[in-house]
Amino acid sequence: MPARRRVPPTEGHDALQVWRAAPDAAPRTVVATAVRYTLEELAARSPGRSVEVRVPPFGAVQCIAGPRHTRGTPPNVIETDARTWLDLVVGARTWDDAKQGGTVRASGQRADLADRLPLFP
């Protein structure tokens, strides 16, 4: 079953464009909408429940086909901040650079988004 969208795609796309134009000046509500929209887009493009991607405090999704968890902390978790996430989504930063720089924390064998990002180059 595809992930349920909570952010209308046009609203999310608009928020992402506002953020792209001025990443350091975008209002928190715009950042929140852009993060939620792009997380939903990741889940739609890579459906599944084997990896949880977290961008606190704005949202989290489960994605990527494979074994799924049912309780507790999932075995494959990716966590990052909003700026790093949006940089990854638009291709302003690579997965490897963010991981080596410590702004992405990934645990578990399947916790790798290198071949799924950027979403909106």
User: What DSSP character marks residue 42?
Assistant: H
Q: Whose CA is closest to 41, among 66, 7, 67?
A: 7
What is the pLDDT at residue 69? 65
Give residue for tokens 């887009």.
41
How do residues 49-62 score in pLDDT, each as one tens digit? 899 999 999 999 99
Burial class, 6, CB count within 10 angstroms (exposed 0-12 / middle 13-18 / buried 19+): exposed
Strand pairing partners for 75? none
pLDDT higher than threshold 80 for residue 111: yes
* Nearest-angstrom CA–CA distance, 18 and 13: 9
pLDDT mean over 12-27: 97
What is the pLDDT at residue 75? 82
Q: What is the pTM of this model?
A: 0.92
Give residue for tokens 């080596």.
100
